[in-house]
Structure 1
Amino acid sequence: MAIQGRLAKFASRRTVLTHSDREAGMEPKTCVVTGASRGIGRGIAERFGEAGCDVAVNYRSSGEAAREVVETIEDAGGSAIAVKADVTEPEQVQAMAEDVEDAFGTVDVLVNNAGINQDVFFEEMTHEQWDTVLDVHLDGAFHCTQTFYDDLAAAADGRLINISSIVAKGGNLGQANYATAKAGIFGFTRTLAQELAREGSTANCVAPGFIETSMVTDLPESIIEQVEEDTPLGRIGDVEEVADIVAFLASERSSFITGEVIDVNGGMDL
C-alpha cells in the first residue's frame, strides 16, 4: 500500500478538532522557526500561523519554498516573513534577528529545527561530514538561542523548543554524526530549561520518530514497511502530529512543563 494510502487510513481515525479547540490556550505570539521552508519546520510554522502568530520563516537556500510558507500563513490569518540565514554563521543569525525585530518586535518563541544529514557508515565518515552535521544542529542551536536569549528571558512566557530525533536515543546505522548531534540537543535543552526558569520561561525538546517528510518518503518501500512493522501504532507519523505538540509547548497550557524530551514516534522506542 502506498504511503499516502496508509496515512489516509490512519488519519480517518484521528479526532477532528475545531479551530477554536486547537488554539485554546495559545495567544498570538512572535515565533521564529529555523529550517522552516519544508518538512517538520514548515508544518510548525504553518501551525503557528493558524493560531494568528507572527512567524519568521527561516531558510538557508529554499527561498521560493519559504515564500510559499509565508503565503500559507497569511492566508490562514497570521503574519509572516521569510528570512534567509545560515544558522551556522553568527553574523547571518544576528541579521535575521534584526529583520525579525523590525517586522514584529521581540520574540516569544524560538524553535530550533534546522537540520541536515550526511549518512555514511562511521568507518567511511570524513571529518567534514562529522563537522557539517554537528555544526548545523548544535552550533546552529547555540547561535540562534544565544541571539534570541534575551527576548525569551524577558517574555512573559518565553518558549525555547528544540527539535531532536528518535535516533538520539537508539542510534542508527550510518548516522553516528546525526545521532550525536541530536543527542546533544537533549543536554542543551535541559540546561537551558534550568537557566531560563529563573526568568519564568521554559525550554523543551520534541523527538520525532519516522515522519512523512521527504527524508522518509524517499526511502525504499521495503524500509518503510519495516519501520511500520517496528512501530506499535503500525505507521509513520505525519508532520501535523509533531506541529501540534510544538504548538502545545508554545502555549500557555504548557507553563509548568520544562526540561522535557517529548517523543512523537508511535511507540517505536518501547
Structure 2
Amino acid sequence: MNKLNTDIFSLAGRSAVVTGGSRGIGAAIVELFARFGAKVVFCHANDAAEADALVTRLAAEGFSVAGAECDVADEAAVAGFADFARERLGHVDIVVNSAGVSGDKPFEALTVADFDRMTDINLRGTFLMTQAFFPGMVERKFGRIINLASQLAYKGAPALAHYCASKGGVVGFTRALAYDGAPHGVTVNAIAPGPIETAQLAGMTEEWRRMKHAQLPIGRFGTVDEIAPTALLLASAAGSYFVGQTLSPNGGDVML
C-alpha cells in the first residue's frame, strides 16, 4: 500500500473558479483554495465592495485571486465571465458552483417569477457555469465540478418549495453529469450544507433560532469555515474517488 502523501490536499498548480465567491460559503472556499495553492477567479452579483475587499486582503498575503461581476443565470454574462477566467488562469481545473439565493414564501403565495428566480440562479446558473468549463476539462482529461446543494433537498421545509426544488435539481444534475465526466477524469460532486451562519440566516428571529438549535444533534449552526474544507477535499487528490456524491456537513440535520 502506498503511503499517504502529506500534500494530498494541496491545490498547487491548480486553477479554480468559484461562483458567489464574495461572501459566505463561497468566500470561505475562495480563501481556503488560495491558501492551499490554487489560483482563483470568482464571480459575484452586485457585491463589488465585498469582492474588492476579499481580493485586496488575499493579494496582500501574496495569493492570486481575482473577482468579477456575473449574473450566473444569464447565458451571455456567464460566457463573458468564462472568457475573463480563462484569460486570468489559462485554463480551469476546478469549478465550484456556490452562487445561490434563498427566501421563504408560502406555496399558495408563490408566483411564477418567484419560482423562476430561485431556479434560474440555483439550478440554471449551476448548469450554465458548468457547461462553460466542462468541455475543456474533458479535453484535458482532468476536472473537478463541485455544486452547492442543501440538506433541504432531502428533507424539504414549509414555505420553501421553490428553494427545495432548485436544490433537489442540483443533486440530480450532479449525479447525472458524474456519469459523463468520470470516464474523462472529471469528477462531479455536491455539498449539501445544513443551517450555516450566513447572511441568509441573519434575519431569522431568536425564537426560530432556538427552535432550530434544539432540532440539531450538534445543538448549533455551522460556520462557513466548517463547509469550505469539504470543497477542498473534493477538489484535491484526497477526493479523487468521490464520483456523483453529495456530502452533507449539516450538524446531523439529515442523516443519510
> Per the shorter chain, which TM-score range?
over 0.9
- In structure 2, what is the equivalent of residue 42 of structure 1? 27
1:215-230 to 2 correspondence within 5 Å? 215-230=200-215
- In structure 2, what is the equivalent of residue 146 of structure 1? 131
The answer to whether structure 1 residue 189 and structure 2 residue 174 are counterparts is: yes
In 2, Cα distance between equivalents of 1:99 and 1:160: 19
2:219 is paired with a residue of what secondary structure? coil
In 2, Cα distance between equivalents of 1:182 and 1:78: 32
1:180 to 165, 173, 177: 165
- In structure 1, what is the equivalent of residue 3 of structure 2? none
What amino acid maps onto 1:37 in structure 2?
Answer: S
1:256-267 to 2 correspondence within 5 Å? 256-267=241-252
Contact 1:52 1:77 in 2 (8 A): no
What is the CA distance between 1:84 and its match in structure 2? 1.2
1:72-111 to 2 correspondence within 5 Å? 72-111=57-96
In 2, Cα distance between equivalents of 1:121 and 1:84: 31
In 1, Cα distance between equivalents of 2:172 and 2:124: 14
Contact 1:51 1:78 in 2 (8 A): no
CA root-mean-square deviation: 1.7
- What stretches of structure 1 move > 4 A for 4+ residues in a row? none
In 1, Cα distance between equivalents of 2:58 and 2:140: 23
In 2, Cα distance between equivalents of 1:253 and 1:109: 14
What is the CA distance between 1:154 and its match in structure 2? 3.3
In 2, Cα distance between equivalents of 1:257 and 1:242: 17
> Which structure 1 residue ranges, 5 or more long, are not aligned?
1-20
Query: Structure 1 76/195 Cα, relative in aligned 2: closer, same or farther at 3 Å?
Result: farther
TM-score of the superposed pair, with normalisation by structure 2: 0.93
Contact 1:49 1:74 in 2 (8 A): no
TM-score of the superposed pair, with normalisation by structure 1: 0.89
- In structure 1, what is the equivalent of residue 120 of structure 2? 135
Contact 2:82 2:132 in 1 (8 A): yes
In 1, Cα distance between equivalents of 2:58 and 2:82: 20
- In structure 2, what is the equivalent of residue 232 of structure 1? 217
The answer to whether structure 1 residue 246 and structure 2 residue 231 are counterparts is: yes
In 1, Cα distance between equivalents of 2:7 and 2:155: 32
Query: Structure 1 163/22 Cα, relative in aligned 2: closer, same or farther at 3 Å?
Result: farther
In the comparison of the two structures, how many residue pairs are matched?
A: 251
Contact 2:102 2:163 in 1 (8 A): yes
In 2, Cα distance between equivalents of 1:155 and 1:74: 29
Query: Structure 1 112/24 Cα, relative in aligned 2: closer, same or farther at 3 Å?
Result: closer
